[in-house]
Amino acid sequence: MIRALVALPFGLALGSFMTVAVHRLPKGESVLSPRSRCPSCGVELRNRDNIPVVSWFLLRGKCHHCGAPISVEYPLTELATAALVVGAAIVYESVWLIVAVGALLSMMPAVSLIDIRHHIIPNKLMYPSLIGFPVFLVAARLFGAPVDLTRAGIGFLAFGGGLFLVALISRGMGMGDVKLAALIGLVLGSVGLGYVGVAAGAAIVFGAVGAIVALLIGRSRKSAIPFGPYLALGAVVAAFWGQQLADRYIDTFLS
């Protein structure tokens, strides 16, 4: 319970940052500067207007300057991100794992929104992550954290490499999906390879269901269907229930 309470403000802050990423990264803009502005009138937001979730309700979902509506997407993204970070704090005991898995999961709502809207997973998000997470995991291991660097590398190569092969033979898979899969494999692989297997399996199942639904509502077979949200959903399922699902699979099919 204490871990969850400590994680909550960090999750909300990450969620606020991710709302900026959702709107700026597809345009190639910096997420660090300038300060957040109203998308309608361009007026810089006051500090009290930048409090995650709370400010949206205090402003009644409107800009303080021009009165233009502020999308409910902002507080929902902040809440979803915070929930994932708090969930990681509840499920994992090691602070190092909470930080690693929580940081990974905090990216999933933003990645999904960007991919759904723009059919891209920005390199400005993926490249820093593919550098930062390995550095963090190595530091965690040096300080005695329960992370397995060998399995992290295997997860990176297996999940990322598997989708890379799919991308080579398929026109429906982008390199952004490959990088995201590699990142998921890296972080979850450091916990256990079973988590990577569950993430991959869940992504495939969710993707297949999504494709069937798309066809049922009239989408063409040639229509591009973003796979990032399914990878993100698979990562969430694996992070929270990976060990249980992997054990159930082994008991059912391999024992």
Residue type, 26: P
Q: What is the pTM of this model?
A: 0.94
Token code pair at residue 230 = 């399914």
Distance from C-alpha of 203 to C-alpha of 159, rounded to nearest angstrom: 11
Tens-place pLDDT, residues 32-87: 887 887 777 877 888 888 889 999 998 888 888 788 888 999 999 999 999 999 99
Distance from C-alpha of 70 to C-alpha of 75, rounded to nearest angstrom: 10
Nearest partner of 130 among 85, 94, 184, judged by Cα: 184
Mean per-residue pLDDT for 140-157? 97
Residues 6+ apart with CB under 8 A from 7: 85, 86, 88, 89, 98, 102
Tens-place pLDDT, residues 51-65: 899 999 988 888 887
